[in-house]
Amino acid sequence: MKNLPLLLLSITFGCFAQQKNTGNLVALDDAFYNYVDKDAKIEVLAEDFIWSEGPVWVKEGGFLLFSDAPQNTIFKWQEDEGITTFLEPSGYTGILPYSREPGSNGLIINSNGKLVACEHGDRRISRMPLSGGGKVTVADRWQGKRFNSPNDIVQASNGIYYFTDPPYGLPEQENSKTREIDAFGVYKIDTAGKVDMVISNLTRPNGVALSPDEKILYVNQSDSKAPYIMAYNIQPDGSLDKGRIFFDATSLMESGLVGSLDGIKVAQDGTIFSTGPSGILIITPKGKLLGRIETGQRTANCAWGNDGSVLYMTAHNYLMRIQTQTMGTGF
């Protein structure tokens, strides 16, 4: 995400002998309970990370991968096994120190079953087999210029990738002398590897997700002065229209709730599960806020897992999950 001090921590990992619960559910509409049971618990699965991010569920194997960008590491969590290191370094292969967040951020499993990562320090989108065998660069430049620090990514069923490129992983962020692109863009990578900037006017594009019918691209803005979820209609060639504000989180920010719009996922019925002030916001496809899954932490991202009904959440130095009453896309 952004603006996090790089702490020196002695980190211990693993499952709790007895997992603890945390947080709170806040319903603003009775329809909230169609998605999360009133008695559902937020389970803490592991803790003592620096800034957990970018979770993705690996169906083949039944485990979760997620990033810790400050630690330059991808961790693996599996039931009854707890936390292990999956990949280190995960996003920067140069000489440290580089920035406060040199590692990987958003992760997905692509249509070929490979791990695709947004790498802050190496400023690229990479791809690698889950079984090992080395990384391949999917894209690291637009018009010959290096990206800033790719943050989050999604792949459509036709193979096209969309990803965001804010400054959070750069040394000195937006003031970095190594910046080569003026805009903090959203990009499209087609199946031939061609890169196009499809959005150029956002100040802090962050999380990205597709509607179930893949006709809309949602983009979160982690800008406290413009905390919007944007919605863009996808054109037949994969380009986007000018977009619209789908949800405005200004009132939540002004109410004193902690956190900002960051990662975003979508349920099969089109309902939005977006990180935001206080945790996870549940929003209808028409933009109505139904309620919040309050984690008690600044919450970076989330992912559907298990059979598609469990929501995993990366929240500051925690990994959490909650059983929902809906199903995520991709299952």
| Contact partners, residue 251, CB within 8 Å, separation at least 6 | none
Residue 2's pLDDT band (boundaries 50, 70, 90)?
A: very low
pLDDT at 15 over 80: no
Instruction: Give SS3 for 278.
Output: coil
Task: Determine the pLDDT at residue 116.
Answer: 98
Residue 133's pLDDT band (boundaries 50, 70, 90)?
A: confident
Task: Determine the pLDDT at residue 19.
Answer: 67
Residue 69's pLDDT band (boundaries 50, 70, 90)?
A: very high
CB 221 within 8 A of CB 259: no
Task: Determine the pLDDT at residue 205.
Answer: 98
Mean pLDDT, rounded, for 200-226: 97
CB 313 within 8 A of CB 279: yes
Mean pLDDT of the chain: 94
Task: Determine the pLDDT at residue 5.
Answer: 38
Closest CA to 208 of 157, 259, 150: 150
| Euclidean distance between CA atoms 127 and 217, whole angstroms | 22
Query: Yes or no: is domain 20-323 CATH 2.120.10.30?
Result: yes
Other beta carbons within 10 Å of 181: 18
* Model pLDDT for residues 306-318, shown as the tens digit of each residue: 999 999 999 999 9
CB 290 within 8 A of CB 31: yes
Residue 29's pLDDT band (boundaries 50, 70, 90)?
A: very high
Question: Structure tokens of 225?
Answer: 């002065």
| Euclidean distance between CA atoms 125 and 114, whole angstroms | 12
pLDDT at 203 over 70: yes
- ∠ CA 145-146-150, rounded to 5°: 135
Of all residues in the chain, the percent with pLDDT exceeding 90 is 91
Buried b (16+ CB within 10 A) or exposed e, 186-207: bbbbeeeeebbebbeebebbbb
285 upstream amide cis, omega within 30 of 0: no
Task: Determine the pLDDT at residue 266.
Answer: 98
Domain range list for the chain? 20-323
Residue 328's pLDDT band (boundaries 50, 70, 90)?
A: very high
Residue 7's pLDDT band (boundaries 50, 70, 90)?
A: very low
Task: Determine the pLDDT at residue 264.
Answer: 98
* Model pLDDT for residues 149-178, shown as the tens digit of each residue: 999 999 999 999 999 999 999 999 999 999
| Euclidean distance between CA atoms 157 and 173, whole angstroms | 33
| Euclidean distance between CA atoms 121 and 99, whole angstroms | 8
Helix (H) or strand (E) holding 318: strand 318-323
Task: Determine the pLDDT at residue 132.
Answer: 76
CB 326 within 8 A of CB 265: no
Closest CA to 63 of 327, 324, 328, 321: 321
Q: Which residue shows structure tokens 């903090």?
A: 184
pLDDT at 259 over 90: yes
pLDDT at 326 over 50: yes
Residue 279's pLDDT band (boundaries 50, 70, 90)?
A: very high
Mean pLDDT, rounded, for 5-25: 55
CB 286 within 8 A of CB 324: no
| Euclidean distance between CA atoms 170 and 178, whole angstroms | 8
pLDDT at 75 over 80: yes
pLDDT at 137 over 80: yes
CB 187 within 8 A of CB 163: yes
Mean pLDDT, rounded, for 12-20: 50
Question: Which of 1-10, 117-126, 174-183 shows the lowest mean pLDDT across its residues?
Answer: 1-10
